[in-house]
Each structure stands twice: as structure tokens, then as C-alpha cells.
Copies of this chain bind each other. A is one copy, B any other.
Amino acid sequence: IEQNAYNDKEHSSSSRAAGMNGNGPSKFVDPLEDPLPGVGTYEDFNTIDWVREKTKDRDRHREITNKSKLSTVALLHSISDAFSGWLLMLLVGLMSGALAGGIDIAAHWLTDMKEGVCLIGFWFNHEHCCWTSNETTFKERDQCPQWQSWAELITGTSEGPFAYIMNYLMYIFWALLFAFLAVTLVRAFAPYACGSGIPEIKTILSGFIIRGYLGKWTLIIKTITLVLAVSSGLSLGKEGPLVHVACCCANILCHLFTKYRKNEAKRREVLSAAAAVGVSVAFGAPIGGVLFSLEEVSYYFPLKTLWRSFFAALVAAFTLRSINPFGNSRLVLFYVEFHAPWHMLELAPFILLGIFGGLWGALFIRANIAWCRRRKTTRLGHYPVMEVLVVTALTAVVAYPNSYTRMSGAELISELFNDCSLLDSSQLCGYKPVSPANTSETGVGNSLADRPAGEGLYTALWQLALALVFKIMVTVITFGMKVPSGLFIPSMAVGAIAGRLLGVGMEQLAYYHHDWFLFKGWCSPGADCITPGLYAMVGAAACLGGVTRMTVSLVVIMFELTGGLEYIVPLMAATMTSKWVADAFGREGIYEAHIRLNGYPFLEPKEEFEHSSLTVDVMRPRRSDPALAVLTQEGMTVEEVEALVESTRYSGFPVVVSQESQRLVGFVFRRDLLISIDNARKRQEGVVGASQVVFTEHAPAHAADAPPPLRLRGILDLSPFTVTDHTPMDITVDIFRKLGLRQCLVTHNGRLLGIITKKDILKHMAQIANRDPDSILFN
């Protein structure tokens, strides 16, 4: 018999058509014809129901596939629909790559503008200006007569204290101007354009709705103000905001395709890919970008998205390369090439850097969150423009005299990562020339051998130490101001400085004590045994890891910078240590901390729910509360339903067979219910307040004089999720996370008992962690 049932191919459809126990066609009958506009959509600052969205998409897809068998046009439609995802990815990659290139070029130009101007055309930056000049040699490629500092231009001389002060003042003036423009543009046109955007994007990707956050105004203003903010010399980077920019591009381009415009879940797949694109263009690391999206920002990341993200990240990286904003045909932001392998003993200083990174991360998060909370709660928050101007002025005044703080963060990191060759003229490579005696000892003159530090290097070390203290302090108050501000570059800069200092220290130690038992055997004179640049890189990774708690993606990004598997082990040792140390002080990364500060409903997918509560402890209503507000499938009038909806603020209502049995039939959303009733009252003949609301398939017989019933089975979700009251909360949390639920009904022995929402879970978690449960603001 069973076999027959299977072989009967019509069985499944017939049983559905015939219905079960009198219940007929479900809500999924004709998905493409939305009966009423607005039904099935969400309000601003609300959480989406992933299951509903995915079902909608599958129904849509099924519809198109079925139609495609009927006509050629429909077939073409079906094919174009299948490839629209790839096309969208291509467009996102191209647009983001182009924007990132533009931002790079503009920021470079404006940054140079603070120091001087090009006489042959003000639109040339310093480097381009001197390219056109034939008089420059390779070594002095940044010194040419066409480029004049402001003092030179105004007073005619670039020497002397007066010219220095002149340049100093012009530097501060431009910095203030850029910062003022940035903050006023943000305030006037797109308040969402401030900050790094990653906390909000994480929240949006987890299924929250913030209208306008990824809109065109945000895109335009963020792009412009990002350039201004970076150029103003503030301690911030463009990497985080580039993720936001890429997500804005993706969101806007989604409007070109119905499939993505109308479906919140599908759109989030595209946004996940866009996050990968953002990191890809920020660092020139497509694989790292994809892993960043997977590890750090995404919530729902099916394999299809993995593949598409990778495609988009590559397109973006190659678009950026063909724009060639750095003028060196390199894909990556910091191209590093190390020549010496590292020794096992060096793991000790690397782990030390990891500990430093972890401590810095924990400290930074605490200090920054405390400062941001103060900004939110005190009068400080009322003067954002003034705050930005004061911080900019402070930064400019302190930064100018020190060449390591005056240069942009990316330049600083690039210089710190660099391995000194003999030709290098940088101050950091100010080693004493090697005495011939030492060289002859090993027979081979190694041009990269460790050398004793000279005066130039000692000066550089002092400047770096001061720069470290300054960067640490100013970054805390900068991140979170009302300008676009990324955190990657400042964090990396702090780590790179610390790493370089330690690296040079190790190098000198090894040089002067090369016969210590520790250094014996691998640090003979004339050998290149310590690479300070590698220490800088490890330090940068450790500090970034401490702040963001990224692990794999961070190591892969760094791997893509160097291109050598050799250096993965130091990077990994440092990031692992950094994460563990930072986790000991608090398990949240900076983005999660900001999400919590803003009260967004974000259910962290990484952390396990450890407490042993049961669902019955978390669900509503509590035992002392009034009973759950439910609708019955028949017997309630429109007026009664409206009264019930009015008297509560719930987003949805369970529908039961009867108040006595409390057996669950389905779930109906408040928004859908209100829209439907409203529409029926306006359009449907005879629907008045006394009309019965009917959720059953067949309307019950009604008296001839009674008004016709309002049938609402169409908006009833016949497959609500349920758990039993005895389900441990860890399982319930898992279900919420993995399926992306907004709410779930709780039953006991088959009877409806209560409801549990994402907000309830978050409040419960906050309570367990001894935090204020009311800090969760949204549904």
C-alpha cells in the first residue's frame, strides 16, 4: 500500500487539493499576485521573518520555472532571472571598485593639498605633479619645483621658522576646513553616513530594517565625506566605511532586479557579498574579504553567496587595479616582501605582541564605549560639529611636528611594514654602515644583514614612541564622531608602531649579543636574522584582532598582503593570543559593543547560550501577567478584533480553534491584519464592525440578515513555529539563529501557552549578563 502511495505521482497534489480535515489551499497558492499592497512587508526598525522571505522567494522561483515551460518569452525570463544574481554581482563589483578608486585618488589629492599645491595644475597631487617633471631623480621623486608648499607659494621661501609656522597653520586650516565640511554635510543630508557602518550592517544582515541606511543619499554623502574625513588627518581609516559604501551600492543596484528588490532575504545575500567587496577593495584582498564577510558580518551565508561574493570581490579588486590609484599596479594596499625566514624563538616576541594587541583591544573597547556613552547621555552629544572641530584641531596641532603622525595612517603602516634595504633613505632605516670586518667574517656581504642602529633610527624610535601614545589616545575619542570613520587603519597603526619598536629592539639585542645562547646559531654577524617589518605586521594584526576579534579573515588578509605562507604562523600566534587575552576582559568585539550600545536586536551567532533556562522562563506571558492575546478562528467580530489589536502593541497574534481548547491554528501579523481589515472596510461590500472575522477555510453558515463574514485565511500563516515549554533555551536560541525567526509560539501538551520573540531572548540574555534588559530597544 505504501509503495502504491509513492508511485501514484498525483497523490501529493491531490491530497493537497482535497485538503485535510476541512482545511484547504494554504497561503502559498498564488504568491506572485500579492492580494494587497503592504501585506507581507515590514515597518522601519523591525525584524524580518527569514522563513517567510525565503518561502516567498521559492514560490516566486517555482512560478517562473513552471511558466518557463509554456513560452519562449517566459523561458528567457527564467534564464535572465537565474543569471540576474551574477549580473548584479558584476555591477556591485564594478561600481564599488570604481568608487573605491575614486575615493583613493581624491583622498590622496586632498591630503597633499594640506601641505602644498601643484603649480602646473592644482588637481595634481604631489606625486603626479613631480612625475611630469623631468628634473627629479629617482631618489628625490617627491621633490620638484612644480610642487610648492604653502609657505613657498605665499612667501617665496620654504626655509626658516616662519615658513614652518606658515605651513603648520595652513595644515591646521585645511584640516579644520575638511572636517567642518564633512561633519556639516553628514548632518545636513545623511545622518546615517557617520561612523564606520559595520555595526549597523551586521544588524541589517541579521534581519533588521533601517530604512535609508543603505540609500542613495547615504552613499553620496558618505563617499564625499569619507574623502574629507580621511584628508583632514583625523585618526581614522577608510576601510570600514568602504564596506558601508559597497553595501549602499549593492542595495541601490538591487532595485534594478525584482528578485532582489522585493525580497528582504535575497537582498541580504547580496549585501553579504557587498561586505566582502568592501574589504576586497580596501585591502586588495578578495579571499580575505570573503572570509571577513563570512566570519565577521554575515548572518545567513549560504554557499551560493560564498561563490558570488568571491566573484564580486574579484571584479572589484580588478576594477580597482585597472584604475590604479596607488600608481604602482599593485592590488594590495601595503605590498610587503620579506626576505628572511623567522626563527622559532621569535614566537616569544610575537606572542608578546599578541598580548599587547589583546590588551589594547580590550582597553580601546572599554574606553571608546565609555566615551560614546558619555556622548549619548551628556551635553557633549549636542555639539557634534564643535566636537569634530576640536578633535581635528587637537589632532592637527599635535600631529604636524611629528613626521610619523603627520603622514596618513596607510602611509605610516606601509613604511613600518617595509624591510630596510641598503638603499632605503627613510629615517627608519638609519642604520650605521656595516664595518667591513663584520662582512668579511661571513664571507658573503648580505645587503640586508642586521646592522647597528644609527642616530637617524634613534630619532625615529623616539618619534614613533610619541606617535604611539598619541594614536592610542586620539583614536579613542575619534571613533564614533559624526564623520565617517573606520577603525582598521588606526588600530593597525598602533600595532605596527609597537611591533616595529619591539622589532628594532630585538634586532639590536641580537646584533650586540649575537653570542648569547638564545641567538647563537641563527644570528651570526652579517646575517639578516630579525626583520623589524615583520614585527610591525604581526603587531598590526594583533591590535586589529584585539579590537575586532577577527581571526581567520585577518590572517588571510595579511597573507594576501605578503603572499607567503611562511608568515602565517607568526600572524596566527599573535592573533590567537590577542583574541584570548582580549576575550578574558570581555567577549565582545568593538562592533558588537556598538550594536549593544545602540540597542539593536542582534542575536550574536557566534556565542553559545550557556544558561540552563527553559523556554517557559523566557516566554510571554509570565505567570503573573494577563493571558496571551489570541484570536479565535471564528466567532470574533471585526470590532472585537480591532479592539484587541488596539489594546496591545504586539506585532502578531496566534489564532486558536477556540478559547477553551487553545489549540493552535496559525499566526497572523498585526500589520497584515490591520491592512486587510482597513481594505475590506473600504472596498468590500457589507463589511462592518459587526461582521464576523473568519480564519477557517469554509465560512460558517450565518443568518441571512447578518453582515457577510470577513474571510482572512489568506493572511494567516498556517505553519507557525512552535516549541514546547520544556525546550531548553539553548535549543530555542539555536532555532531562532539558524532559521532566522522573529517569533515562536510555545505550547504545552498541544495547547498554546505563550509566545517568545527575538526581543524576549535578547532581554533574557541581557538579564543573565547583569545588564539592563531595557537596553534592547527594537523588535
Contact = CB atoms under 8 A, between A and B. Distances in A.
Contacts of A622: 1-2, 5, 11
Given A614-B26, A726-B23, A748-B21, A2 B286 contact: no
> Which has the most chain B C-beta neighbours within 10 Å: A568, A738, A749?
A749
Contacts of A23: 726, 748
A661 interface: yes
A738 to B, nearest CB: 4
A2 B625 contact: yes
Interface size range on A against B:
35 or more
Nearest to A633: B749
A414 B664 CA distance: 65
Given A6-B767, A303-B606, A16 B731 contact: no
A576 to B, nearest CB: 8
Interface string A292-327: 001100000011101100110010011000000000
A294 B295 CA distance: 13
A616 B15 contact: yes
> Which has the most chain B C-beta neighbours within 10 Å: A303, A612, A613, A725?
A612
A55 interface: yes
A670 interface: no
A664 B726 CA distance: 13
A263 interface: no
Contact of A726 (B611, B719, B735): B719
B724 A610 contact: no
Contacts of A730: 54-55, 58
Interface string A592-623: 00000000000001101111111111100011
A589 to B, nearest CB: 13
Interface stretch (A112-120, A178-186, A479-487, A554-562): A554-562
A46 interface: no
A62 interface: yes
Nearest to A295: B303
A297 to B, nearest CB: 12
Interface in A568-591: 568-569, 572, 576
Interface string A712-732: 000000111111111110110
Contact of A734 (B666, B739, B747): B739
B610 A749 contact: no
A739 B290 CA distance: 25
A335 to B, nearest CB: 12
Contacts of A624: 1, 5
A112 to B, nearest CB: 29
Given A15-B623, A730-B55, A331 B61 contact: no
Contact of A749 (B54, B657, B735): B657
Interface string A45-64: 00000010011001101100
Given A563-B563, A661-B750, A617 B16 contact: yes
A134 interface: no
A1 B23 CA distance: 40
Contacts of A734: 51, 54, 739
B55 A731 contact: yes
B731 A286 contact: no
Contact of A720 (B62, B665, B724, B725): B724
A12 interface: yes
A572 B314 CA distance: 10
B663 A565 contact: no
Contacts of A51: 731, 734
A423 to B, nearest CB: 25
A562 to B, nearest CB: 10
Contact of A20 (B55, B318, B725, B727): B725
Contacts of A564: 563
B719 A616 contact: no
A432 interface: no
A439 to B, nearest CB: 27
Contact of A750 (B623, B735, B750): B750
A555 B310 contact: yes
A552 B286 contact: no
A551 interface: yes
A565 B724 contact: no
Contacts of A738: 738-739
Contacts of A616: 15-16, 20
Contact of A748 (B5, B16, B20, B723): B20
A559 to B, nearest CB: 7
B58 A610 contact: yes
Contacts of A123: none
A202 interface: no
Given A625-B2, A719-B726, A16 B568 contact: no
Contacts of A750: 657, 661-664, 747, 750-752
A462 interface: no
A298 to B, nearest CB: 10
Given A722-B722, A726-B718, A773-B6, A568 B314 contact: yes
Interface in A18-35: 20-21, 23, 26, 28
A26 B726 contact: yes
Given A665-B749, A767-B6, A724 B731 contact: no
Interface in A243-281: none
A62 B623 contact: no
Contact of A62 (B5, B311, B610, B664): B610
Contacts of A666: 724
Nearest to A564: B563
Contacts of A728: 26, 28, 55, 58, 719
Given A306-B295, A664-B749, A572 B21 contact: no
Given A6-B767, A28-B728, A51-B734, 4 more contacts: A15-B623, A20-B616, A55-B728, A307-B551
Q: Nearest 4 CB-CB pairs, A to B?
A: A663-B750, A719-B727, A718-B726, A12-B617
